[in-house]
Amino acid sequence: MIYTVKKGQVSYGEAIGIILLENYAPFIPGDVANATTYDFPVRFQRVKDFSVDRIFRHDMTFLDSVLAAGRDLVREGVRAITGDCGFMVIYQDELAQELNVPVFMSSLLQIPFLSRVIGKDKKIGIITADSRVLDEYVLQKVGVNSDSNLVIKGLEKKDHFVSAIIKEEGLLYSEKLEAEVISTTQDLVAEDPKVKIILLECSVLPPYGAAIQMAINLPVFDFITMINYVYTGVVKKRFEGFM
């Protein structure tokens, strides 16, 4: 077999490119920003000064910087691009238009699919970093509206989540954060029994998906379910077995 060099590329084999906020928090296994989360190589690209505060304010002045990060990832050979914050969906349309690879900037892009999975009389429960930020503007970027089948609950009043992730105080107690996320999800389901599936918006929440599922006995989707799904589309495997 003969291989041809790709101009400007000095490493190979990283199919998924992940654009990162400049967020200084401990990203544990299962987090989007932890490479050991995946069963395949990924490539990270940080955007300088792209803070949590800026993405929470839907700061479109960072579009050019995010596009530049996407172009860098494409030049390095990635086959698809995502991000590490669900609110990055505000850049989805522009990146998908400009970059010549599939782009899926938010776990929230799974909403239309999940809506069809559960049926029109049931609801999707969304756990988000901040329910105030998951507003009509963001939902429009996803392609849904606020009067759709969504029940949204945020972590903006949960002390440890705020200190570890939003304020970036440097310490993350996994058990504390897990308890906050579970209690928030349990409250959501108790308040609306029509919720039949859970979607985690925030990229730090996938490590707690299994615990959430054990607590409420519902399917749980997140950034990692989406990334794994796209990976299987851009890196196909041959099947082996026997009859």
Q: Give the CATH number for residue 67.
A: 3.40.50.1860
Is residue 197 situated within a structural domain?
Answer: yes
Q: Do 64 and 138 share a domain, yes or no?
A: no
Average pLDDT rounded to a whole number, residues 161-166: 96
pLDDT at 199: 98
pLDDT in tens, 202-235: 999 999 999 999 999 999 999 999 999 999 999 9
pLDDT at position 8: 79
My answer on whether 85 and 182 are in the same domain is no
Same domain, 114 and 218: yes
Residue 148 in this model has a pLDDT that exceeds 80: no
At residue 126, the pLDDT reads 98
Residue 32 lies in a domain: yes
Q: In which element (H, E) is residue 195 found?
A: strand 195-200
| Token pair 């929230």 in the structure block, residue | 108
Same domain, 114 and 198: yes
- 226-229-235-240 Cα dihedral, nearest 10 degrees: 150
User: Which tokens go with 115?
Assistant: 């809506």
At residue 115, the pLDDT reads: 93
Buried b (16+ CB within 10 A) or exposed e, 30-39: bbbbbeebbe
Q: Are residues 57 and 126 in the same domain?
A: no
Has residue 153 been placed in a domain? yes
Residue 46, domain member (yes or no)? yes
CA–CA separation, 155 and 13 (whole Å)? 36
Q: Encode pLDDT of 80-119 as tens digits.
A: 999 999 999 999 999 999 999 999 999 999 999 999 999 8
Together in a domain, 142 and 89? no
Residue 92 sits in the same domain as residue 125: no
Mean pLDDT of the chain: 96
Q: How far apart are CA 4 and CA 170, in angstroms?
A: 45
pLDDT band at 5 (very low <50, low <70, confident <90, very high): confident
Confidence band of 165 (pLDDT split at 50, 70, 90): very high
Question: Are residues 101 and 137 part of one domain?
Answer: no
In this structure, the answer to whether residues 76 and 112 fall within a common structural domain is no
Confidence of residue 9 (pLDDT cuts 50, 70, 90): confident
Domain count, the chain: 2
Q: What is the pLDDT of residues 35-51, one digit of tens each?
A: 999 999 999 999 999 99
Structural domain boundaries, residue 100: 16-106+227-234
| Residue 136 domain flag | yes
Residue 45 within any structural domain of the chain: yes
Q: Do 156 and 216 share a domain, yes or no?
A: yes
Instruction: Collapse the DSSP code of 220 into the 3-class scheme (helix H, G, I; strand E, B; otherwise coil) and give the result.
Output: strand
E strand or H helix at 232: helix 223-234
User: pLDDT value at position 11?
Assistant: 86
DSSP string, 11-38: -----EEEEE----S---BTBTT-GGG-
Q: Is the pLDDT of residue 120 over 90?
A: no
11 occurs within a structural domain: no
pLDDT at residue 29 is higher than 90: yes
- d(C-alpha 105, C-alpha 87), whole Å: 8
**Does residue 114 sit in helix, strand or coil?**
helix
**Alpha-carbon gap, residue 212 to 219, rounded angstroms:** 9
| Residue range 62-91: mean pLDDT, rounded | 97
